[in-house]
Structure 1
Amino acid sequence: MQIHFIPAAQLKPKPESDFGFGKIFTDYMFEMDYDEQLGWHDAQIRPYGPLKLDPASLVLHYAQETFEGLKAYRTEDGRILLFRPEMNARRLIQSNQRLCMPEIPEALFLECLEALLRVERDWVPIAPSSLYIRPFVFATEAAVGVHPSSKYKFMILLSPVGAYYADGLNPVRIYVEDEYIRATPGGTGAVKCGGNYAASIIAQAQAARCGFSQVLWLDGKERKYVEEVGTMNVMFKIKGQLITAPLDGTILPGITRDSILHLMREHGLSVKERPLTIDELMDAGRTGQLEEAFGTGTAAVISPIGQLHYKGETIRIHNEKIGPLTQWLYDTLTGIQWGRIPDSYGWTHEIV
């Protein structure tokens, strides 16, 4: 596809550190439109700035919107690497299908992403920071009425970031939510759409007021099976076996999750995708059988869990220190992402 480049009148000064997360954006962004007659068209890379959006745009009223999250990493020799970006492209296709939105073919997704990164490659910071990439799609047809939009916009924003959590790799405190629910069978739990996150904010805010970093969600049907931690998949090492919730349509098919399961099986380590009740988990914590716990996701990569709080009871995990399996997985994944460890899996994608 032809991508039109619109140069900025003036470029921003590039910060060298203290990025925070999602607060600073690069000079340019990608934008492409869709309508039923032309399909995807008018692709452009233009200066970062406000959008002109009709107040009746369907996204503002009925939340027809999907997004993705991935990162670009700068290696010690200056190369720019992506980590399994084709999986983000495929997941966006699945999300769009669920919300009756037009698909962006995998090859087109990668073409647009690579074009923007070539323009903004100087914004990719050195390790341990990275460049966060936010592709997203939203409905732009001006109409008040519940139906699939006839027009959409696909955009990509770039943001240099540091650690997602202020504590970095220090174990976080997690509150087990048993009042609100995140997803139900047949819903959009496996879809990366803004509505899922908006509905979770109230529980997250309540947990934060009580001093917790994140919320551990239980299933929406029986409220007894462990599902996800906030913006991450979650894994528990119990009696030597790593356990995580199965992909049954209510949790996000995480790319970091998939990578960790692959690493575990490749090295002959015990791993099981199965339903895990909160009662079984708490009992394992009481008896010392819960050896490690961590969340996984693009933003934080791996976030060790030091405490779980449920119905007034707190269990402490691995003396609230990062466990050896968690550390090994973090070191291995980030080593591949930053090019410090040879990539024998074909997961990295170089921007040339």
Structure 2
Amino acid sequence: MAAFGTVFMPQMIQARFSDNAWSETSVVPSDKIELHPGAHVLHYSSTCFEGLKAFRHEDGSIYLFRMDANIARMKQSSALLSLPAFDDAMLKGMIIDIVRQFADETPLPPGSMYIRPTHIGTEAAIGKAAVPSLSSLLYVLLSPVGDYFAGGSTALRILLEENGMRCAPHMGMVKSGGNYASALAPISAAREKYQADQILFCPGGDVQETGAANFILIDGNEIITKALDSTFLHGVTRHSILTIAKDLGMTVTERNFTVDELLERSAKPGTEAALSGTAAVLTPVGTFIHNDKEYKVGNGEAGPTTMRLRQALNDIQWGKAADTHGWLTKVDV
């Protein structure tokens, strides 16, 4: 199977903002965009994006998962990056229209159609380092996908990094490309030196998130995860998993916690850890690497609570369990 996110549908949908107004949406080829070399996004990183999925149910129907939450977060990211504002209804219509067009290409479970709305500043003005772009492009790409991590539910190896940060603290809650770019070098170094799958950034010992996913610790019937603030991404999957955990009678604790506490709890039998995200879903963590030493999480393998929560989320997405929170939006085809 092709690597996650490397196969695209041949068309995408887009809208352009200029002269204080949005254009009509249009469906165009997805293999290129017209962009001036002086475009604001290329020099000053005025870009944000989202990731959500469409799922095919057993009866052939197509459902979007938590689209409204992703649109709300993208509007927030756009505002924090001073990109032109857009209406919820416009982006919602764009997502539904392009998913409908390629409904027949939506994979059966465990696959899905990954949806990537993207918003970029397009004004050709290299003198605007401290001024927002007055024009922008909003587009939606589609990519049929399987598991994000090649090993599927195989437990990951995670390096704990106390000295570095994923991104600037006030930018953590913005889903912007620059945040991911700033984490690439340390992740690549961790992969080469420690064969780590990801880095869990813990500046000053404060456990935050990895380069591409939120982090949760499971200690018995309790889930522990960092409380929401501006330093890390407010994941939609994170919120979904915590909601499902509460539905299952688990205790959810959102608070700051340290690397020392993390390692102490992880040594206990039955403790589990996992990464959550639209792409990752809920992927188990089996090993922490800290100060050149390795620490197993529980027994070092995928834990039953992690897999139970992952399955519960998938069952809602795939239409095998009741959608009691109104997370699914049907795409009429």
Fold conserved between structures, TM > 0.5: yes
Report whether the alignment pairs 1:243 with 2:224. yes
CA distance in 2, matches of 1:239, 1:310: 23
**Which residue of 108, 124, 127 maps to 1:142?**
124
Q: Deviations over 1:73-107 (max 9, x none)?
A: 11111011111100000000110111111222222
Asked if structure 2 preserves the Cα contact closer than 8 Å seen for 1:177 and 1:203, the reply is no
The residue type paired with residue 64 of structure 1 is S
Structure 2 spans left out of the alignment, 5+ residues = none
* 1:289 Cα deviation after fit: 6.0
TM-score under structure 1 normalisation? Answer: 0.91
CA distance in 2, matches of 1:50, 1:235: 38
SS of 1:309 mapped into structure 2:
strand
**Which residue of 285, 288, 291 maps to 1:311?**
291
**Which residue of 261, 270, 273 maps to 2:251?**
270
Report whether the alignment pairs 1:261 with 2:242. yes
Q: In the alignment, what sits opposite 1:108?
A: 90
Q: In the alignment, what sits opposite 2:310?
A: 330
**Which residue of 204, 217, 231 maps to 2:201?**
217
Q: In the alignment, what sits opposite 2:163?
A: 179
SS of 2:311 mapped into structure 1:
helix
Q: In the alignment, what sits opposite 1:160?
A: 144
SS of 2:208 mapped into structure 1:
strand
Asked if structure 2 preserves the Cα contact closer than 8 Å seen for 1:190 and 1:249, the reply is yes
Report whether the alignment pairs 1:93 with 2:79. no
Q: In the alignment, what sits opposite 2:25?
A: 43
Q: Deviations over 1:171-193 (max 9, x none)?
A: 111011233211344x2000000
CA distance in 2, matches of 1:331, 1:178: 32
**Which residue of 30, 52, 67 maps to 2:13?**
30
SS of 1:170 mapped into structure 2:
coil
**Which residue of 27, 40, 55 maps to 1:73?**
55
CA distance in 2, matches of 1:245, 1:335: 26
Percent same amino acid among aligned pairs? 36
Q: In the alignment, what sits opposite 1:61?
A: 43
Q: Deviations over 1:138-166 (max 9, x none)?
A: 01100112110010000111011111001
* 1:36 Cα deviation after fit: 3.6
Give the stretch that moved more between structures: 270-279 or 260-269. Answer: 260-269
TM-score under structure 2 normalisation? Answer: 0.96
SS of 1:155 mapped into structure 2:
strand
CA distance in 2, matches of 1:34, 1:76: 39
Q: In the alignment, what sits opposite 2:329?
A: 349
The residue type paired with residue 111 of structure 1 is G
Report whether the alignment pairs 1:118 with 2:125. no
* 1:239 Cα deviation after fit: 4.8
| Counterparts in 2 of 1:48 and 1:183: CA distance versus 1, 3 Å | closer
The residue type paired with residue 155 of structure 1 is Y
Q: In the alignment, what sits opposite 1:233?
A: 214
CA distance in 1, matches of 2:241, 2:286: 20
What's the Cα RMSD here?
A: 1.3
Give the stretch that moved more between structures: 232-241 or 192-201. Answer: 232-241
Asked if structure 2 preserves the Cα contact closer than 8 Å seen for 1:73 and 1:337, the reply is yes
Report whether the alignment pairs 1:198 with 2:213. no
Asked if structure 2 preserves the Cα contact closer than 8 Å seen for 1:175 and 1:216, the reply is yes
**Which residue of 228, 233, 242 maps to 1:252?**
233
Q: Deviations over 1:232-285 (max 9, x none)?
A: 110001354210001111111101111111112223211100001001111223
Asked if structure 2 preserves the Cα contact closer than 8 Å seen for 1:130 and 1:162, the reply is yes
Q: In the alignment, what sits opposite 1:6?
A: none
The residue type paired with residue 256 of structure 1 is T
Asked if structure 2 preserves the Cα contact closer than 8 Å seen for 1:245 and 1:274, the reply is yes
CA distance in 2, matches of 1:267, 1:303: 19
Report whether the alignment pairs 1:283 with 2:267. no
The residue type paired with residue 65 of structure 1 is T
| Counterparts in 2 of 1:139 and 1:291: CA distance versus 1, 3 Å | same
Asked if structure 1 preserves the Cα contact closer than 8 Å seen for 2:163 and 2:202, the reply is no
Asked if structure 1 preserves the Cα contact closer than 8 Å seen for 2:167 and 2:183, the reply is no
SS of 1:118 mapped into structure 2:
helix
SS of 1:329 mapped into structure 2:
helix
